[in-house]
A and B are shown apart, each in its own frame.
Chain A
Amino acid sequence: MTMEQAAQMGLESGYRQALTALLYQLADDELCLGHRDSEWLGLAPDIEGDVAFSSIAQDEVGHAVFYLERLHELGEKDPDSLAFFRGAEAWRNAVLLEQPNGDWARTILRHFLYDLFDDVRTEALLHSSYEPLAQGVAKIRREEHYHLLHLKPWLIRLARAGGDAQERMEQAVMEVWAQLGGLFSLGAEEEEMIHHGLIAWGREELYRRWEDRAKPVFAEAGLKWPGPPSVPEQDGRRGRHTDHLTELIRTMSEVAVGDPAARW
């Protein structure tokens, strides 16, 4: 679909606004975490983990590009401009995902919990009233399946290892939980998104379904379930971010800013 076609579709402005907000949330979540994944290149504890994180990073960034292309069809700027030349206040990712990786335990835990959330969220998009989105997530879910297959055993292995690994994982749970609640926010447009059939469930149902799947993994890992996360102070879905996002955008856009006309 081209930009003209999107305009010709004559999307009602409320619908378009809710759809745009949703696409930014999806794109920015994937792009932030994909970038953080790429920071492990050459540094992961073993070669298999290193190879895995480069593929996972490539998948996440690729998915972000898919969502950014859909935004471009709706009349937003082109994907590169949106990725490299957009101020932090315009990003709609959850604050949790812009944080630095921390140690390996926190990396694995955050990624697993996010991918589980993304699995629930994309399930809620399979029958989206916006067909290009429904079709894209059907494909994306087939790829994300492998991320969960890789991350879940890592989480369990670290938590059950005892000693340093277990202590770090328990520490990671405390740190991640402080910002975890922000994942489930759908921002100011939640009601409109549901009203227009863009997404099947709101934040409470997303959380309930996520918890149903996360709890048994914690039990298997021997980790204490900390209870429902509180809502963090800054809601990234409403454009409120930490300084880490500014730093992330600056690093990611270093080449593009250095020579905006460069092709690679």
Chain B
Amino acid sequence: MADPADTKALLDVLQEVKDPEIPEVSIVELGMVNRVSVGESGVRVELTPTFVGCPALDLIAEQVEKVLTRERGDPVEVDFVMNPPWTSERITPEGRKKLKDFGIAPPPVTRNESGDIVADCPFCGAGEGEILNLFGPTACRSIFYCQNCRQPFEGMKPV
């Protein structure tokens, strides 16, 4: 087990690694970092992919390796794990705020009874959106339309 202070320091460094498609939000804030540990053979980082087929995964792993090697000089091992599976509930409050500031609605925390996945509009805050397309520019996003401020907006899918 890693020293808790050590783990904290490693997570701080990993704040530098951003989602390549959403450069405001780090992989820590997205809830992708499952575990970091320091052993005799170096640093080991477990990442949990937001979407299994996300094409940014290799790039993210390279970045993690790069920043940790620079900070510590130890060998770095990056593994992708499926357990626990990534869910949109893993996004931190800070991550949700940054997504919204970037113009992407954070996923609704709870789905209502009809299974509605429409998030509040990131621009005006109204909850009067409708689904334009369940799929969007990346696997993890959908496209909505706000009936209040008459703007289309993107939102992260609740998964």
Contact = CB atoms under 8 A, between A and B. Distances in A.
Contacts of A63: 52-53
Interface string B119-159: 00000000000001111111100010000000000000101
Interface in A132-161: 132, 135-136, 138-140, 142-143, 145-146, 149-150
Contact of B51 (A52, A62, A132, A136): A62
Chain A interface size, under 10 / 10 to 19 / 20 to 34 / 35 or more: 20 to 34
Given A139-B85, A142-B159, A143-B139, A52 B53 contact: no
B133 A143 contact: no
A204 interface: no
A21 interface: no
Given A142-B85, A143-B159, A136 B52 contact: yes
Given A58-B139, A63-B53, A136 B133 contact: no
A146 B135 contact: yes
Given A132-B82, A139-B85, A142-B159, A59 B134 contact: no
Contacts of B133: 48, 51-52
Contacts of B139: 55, 58-59, 62, 143
Interface of B: 49, 51-55, 82-83, 85-87, 132-139, 143, 157, 159
Interface of A: 48, 51-52, 54-56, 58-63, 65-66, 132, 135-136, 138-140, 142-143, 145-146, 149-150
